[in-house]
Each structure stands twice: as C-alpha cells, then as structure tokens.
Amino acid sequence: MDKTWPVQDAKARFSELLRAAEDEPQTISYRGQPKFEVRLIAPAAKSRKGPPRWWTSAPRVAEFEPMPRKKEKMRKVF
C-alpha cells in the first residue's frame, strides 16, 4: 500500500519521500486529488554498464571518416 503525500509535505520532507519510494511507490496529491507517483527505477536499469542502447543500435556508416584537425597557431590573449 503506497502512502499519499500532500504537495506541501512532499516539498518539506523530500528526502524522506525519496527514501520511502525505495520500498514502495509514493503518491503526491494536489488539492486533495492524487496527481503524481514517485517510485524507484528498476535496479537492472541502474546497474547496466556499457554504452546506451540507442548508441549501439545506430546504423553503421562504413565510408565515414573524420576530418583531420588543422594545426593552427595559438592566438594572443590580451
């Protein structure tokens, strides 16, 4: 059973709200009506290592080569 927090209590005791959300979802009510839910993100998603999924699923372009950098003189800074 999740707990309902009025907005003013959620703001005043935000750290406590987050700690409670680690165990079970917490509901924040606005003007007496439930509006928001705070809950812990799945632990598997947090512990994933490596590049993000969107990066590895991007299409490969074989003919792409980065341009070489130009060697320029340092400019004077006054």
Q: What is the pLDDT of residues 20-74, one digit of tens each?
A: 999 899 999 999 999 999 998 876 555 567 766 766 776 777 777 777 888 888 8
Closest CA to 37 of 59, 10, 72, 15: 10
- Taking phi over 0 as left and psi of -120 to 50 as alpha, with beta for the rest, 67 belongs to beta
Domain-located, residue 76: no
Domain-located, residue 53: no
Q: How many domains is the chain built from?
A: 1
Structure tokens at 2: 């999740």
Domain-located, residue 50: no
- The CATH number given to whatever domain includes residue 10 is 3.40.1620.10
Range of the domain at 36: 1-41
Closest CA to 18 of 2, 35, 39: 39
Domain-located, residue 5: yes
Question: What type of residue sits at position 78?
Answer: F
Domain-located, residue 3: yes
